[in-house]
Structure formats: C-alpha cells, structure tokens
Amino acid sequence: MKFRSFLSTCSATICTATDDTTTLNHPNKSQQPTPNRFFSDTSSIISDTTSPSFDTSYNSLHSNLSLQTLPSIPSLQKLSPESLHLTVSHRYLTSFTPSPTAHINFLAVNNNLLYAASGNLIHVFDTTSFTLLDTFCVHDPASGTVKSILFRNSPNGNIFTSHQDSKIRVWKLTENKRHKQTGTLPTLEDRLLRSFFKKNYVNVRRHRRRLWIEHHDAVSGLAMINNQLMCSVSWDKCLKIWKTSNLRCVESIKAHDDAINAVVAANDGTIYTGSADRRIKVWGKTESKHVLIATLEKHKSAVNALALNDDGSVLFSGACDRSILVWEKEDSAGYMAVTGALRGHSKAILCLINVCDLLFSGSADRTVRIWQRGAVGKFCCLGVLDGHKQPVRSLVADPDSEVVESKCGSRIKVFSGSFQGEIKVWKVEVLKIDTPLRKTKP
C-alpha cells in the first residue's frame, strides 16, 4: 500500500473521512488525484468577522460523525472562551490562486516569503503584499509534485524540497529573490562512492535493488533535527537522516509497515513519524544512530499530520478517523501517552500547525478549526474558518512579521491551501477579555 495522494492516506482499510463509509484504493502512479469522487463540493460562505465572535452552537463546533470515532478516548473539549477569559476574532483577508491551477500540496514561510507548492511548481509570494516574486521548478518533468519544503536557517542556508520522484532538491535564494537549484539528494558523489560495494544495496521490491541512501518512492516529509542533521520520510516506509554540511545520507531506517505521511522533530532531537499503518513512532539518538523509543497506537486509520507545541511536551496527531489526538510526556517515561481527543471535524484531518499556544487544524470537510489549550490539559475550540470549496491540505502561519504574542494575547496571520488550488489568508486575534480589542491593519 502506497500513499499516492491524500486520498491514499485515507485507505488504511476503510476511510472514515467521507460522509458514508467508502473503501478507497490507491491510484496508479500515472493517475491524477480525483478528490471530487470522494468529497462533496458544496460552496460555503466566507466569514468576514471583524468583531469578537464565538459561535457556541453545537452544530458549528461539534460533529456527530466526529464524536462517534474513538469512543474509548475522552474528549478534551471542556472549556469555553469565557472560562479562559478570552475574546476571539477571525477575519478573512484575501485569497489568491497560483497559475496554473493545481492542488496546493504544501505551504511554508521563511523570511517574510510564502512558499506554495502547487503541482510541480513552487510559487513565492511576499507575505505582506501577497505579490508573486518567483516561480521555480525542477526542469525534469518526471519529478512529479512537490510534497514538502524545508529551510535551514543559517547564513546562506539551503532550501530543501521533496518530490514525487523520490528525490530531495537543494536550492539557494539569490540576491534578486530568485531561486537556483544547487544539488539533489542523494548527491552524485555519495551515490558513486557507495555504488561499488554490494553491501550498500537493498531490495526495494522483487528483482529490484537500490542503494540504501536512496528513497524509492515519493518523499512525503522533511524536518530539521538540528543545524547539523535533517530527516526525510517517504511512502517507501523509510526514515532517512542526512548531514546538512555535506548533504550525505548517514542513516536509513525501515520505520513503518506502510507509507509514512508526516514527520516532526522536537528541539531535543526526538523524531516523530506518522504512517498509513495507523501508528506514530518515536525515535531518539543513541551515541551512533537513531533507535525506536516508542510506538503510539490509538488511531483507527491512517495518520496524516503531526504537530508539536513549542517545548515539545505535547504532540498532536490528525488522522482519517476525524479526531485529533493529544499526547503528553509522562513523568515516569520518556515518551508520550494519549490524554484525549479533540473532535469537531466531520472528515479526515489533513494538516496541523501549532503557533502561539494555538493549534490550527485543516480538514477534508473544507474548514480550519482553532484550538486553545487551557488549564490541566483541557481545550477549547475558539472558532471555525470556513470558505474553502475543497479539502484544506496545508496550513502555515507567518512567524516573522505577523505573529504578535504577549500577556494580552496573540495576533496571527494564517495561510490555508486547498485541493482547489486556492490560498486563503486569515487574521486571527485572541485577547484577554479585560484587554480592549486592538484594531489591526488588513
């Protein structure tokens, strides 16, 4: 079983992301994703809320479908904004669609630039004016779609992109805001050095062998472990570790029994991988290599998204079972244990981001939900961002220019990308009730 698109992620056996139970099969490599076969396309009205608002109706913040999943796991939604002494406003700012139109596979922000992976192209926008600054891609048309984007934040830091053709590309940002490809992982030098020894080859399928440093299916995710190491995960079920100094692969781990869809790394170097085999695995480094620390098993379908809070003590996981599970470190153990679930989405969870103590979740139900953590691990759904006409595939916040965090609250600019190829921009402000609501510039 291979994750060929989000639609494949939902096919651990039976995907519960649709309104009625539907078995989804993995498409062939030559096929294009066809989300309209599985998702209704009813238009929603864009909410342009400029004053503090919170809809407490059951239908808007809860879903009967979601409440039916994972009944043995308690709900953590015990709080309201009033109990947290918060006031919430969210406002739709604008939207734009990169051309040519294709699924928005991934969004990333770095140095006031928004990177939008759409098909095999990467579009670069200014995060303030939303002006298109550059569009770049791999010249080889067989490279396929772009799956992930990662930045090495150091002087002259590289930009890494992962692709459908099992390769990772390396780019540099030039002085005139253009992007130039400087390499491909694994590098030609690395492949040549290892190609002469049989021990460096592994069986990837019947009658086919590849170097262990190579992925042999789409590279679905990238994460920076520290300034010296990065990791990649793939639909080939493997986790690979790379040195950022010489771009060489130093470890390859058969990590899961099915396609790996998500990866995040904590500040202490702990790596979390989420897979279509319904498991989350935790990896830590010994003196010489990374080893399995724990396997987290609670989801009932493919895990699509992972996010960590700022200090790495809380892990969030989203899956096709419509629930977001919350995992926290136990004092008696060095790994996570599930504490409960966040429910409300009516279809599969596709993306998660954590910023300023707020969790944002994007779903195949075409909405983005905003969650706030309160005392003793309880949560509140602060609101729903509605307006996309197709599943929300990727989320990112702008941490450089538009995130303001203080004792008064948080003001955040959020970008959401959908299967329709549209990127929407939202302004979210969460303030203490005793604090006057500040007017924000559009």
Q: Which of 104-113, 310-319, 407-416 has the lowest mean pLDDT?
A: 407-416
Q: Does the pLDDT at position 155 exceed 80?
A: no
Average pLDDT of 158-184? Answer: 94
Q: Is 253 helix (H, G, I), strand (E, B) or coil?
A: strand
* Span 377-396, pLDDT tens digits: 899 999 999 999 999 999 99
Q: Does the pLDDT at position 4 exceed 50?
A: no
Q: Do the domain assignments include residue 168? A: yes
Q: Do the domain assignments include residue 65? A: no
Q: Do the domain assignments include residue 57? A: no
Q: Do the domain assignments include residue 222? A: yes
Q: Does the pLDDT at position 118 exceed 50?
A: yes
* Residue 410 pLDDT: 79
Which distant-in-sequence residues (6+ apart) come within 8 Å of 71 by Cβ? none
Average pLDDT of 396-405? Answer: 66
* Residue 145 pLDDT: 96
Between 8 and 125, the more confident residue is 125
Tell me how far apart the terminal alpha carbons of the chain are, to the nearest angstrom: 45
Between 338 and 6, the more confident residue is 338
Length of the chain: 442
Q: Do the domain assignments include residue 19? A: no
* Residue 265 pLDDT: 97
Domain coverage including residue 160: 86-432
The answer to whether 355 and 412 are in contact (CB under 8 A) is yes
* Residue 401 pLDDT: 47
Q: Do the domain assignments include residue 48? A: no
> Average per-residue pLDDT in the chain?
82
Q: Do the domain assignments include residue 78? A: no
Q: Does the pLDDT at position 237 exceed 80?
A: yes
* Span 239-281, pLDDT tens digits: 999 999 899 999 999 999 999 999 999 999 999 999 999 999 9
Q: Does the pLDDT at position 425 exceed 80?
A: yes
* Residue 332 pLDDT: 63
pLDDT grade, residue 204 (50/70/90)?
confident
Average pLDDT of 169-179? Answer: 91
The encoded tokens of residue 398 equal 């702008």
Report the share of the chain in percent with pLDDT over 70: 79
Q: What is the CATH number of the domain that holds 428?
A: 2.130.10.10
- pTM of structure: 0.84
Q: Do the domain assignments include residue 438? A: no
pLDDT grade, residue 15 (50/70/90)?
very low
Report the share of the chain in percent with pLDDT over 90: 60
Number of domains in the chain: 1
Q: Report the distance separating Cα 352 and Cα 169, nearest Å.
A: 24
Report which residue type is found at 428.
Answer: V
> Residue 348, by phi and psi: left (phi above 0), alpha (psi -120 to 50) or beta?
beta
Q: DSSP characters for 196-208?
A: T-GGGEEEEETTE
DSSP letter at 77? B
Centroid of chain to Cα 383: 20
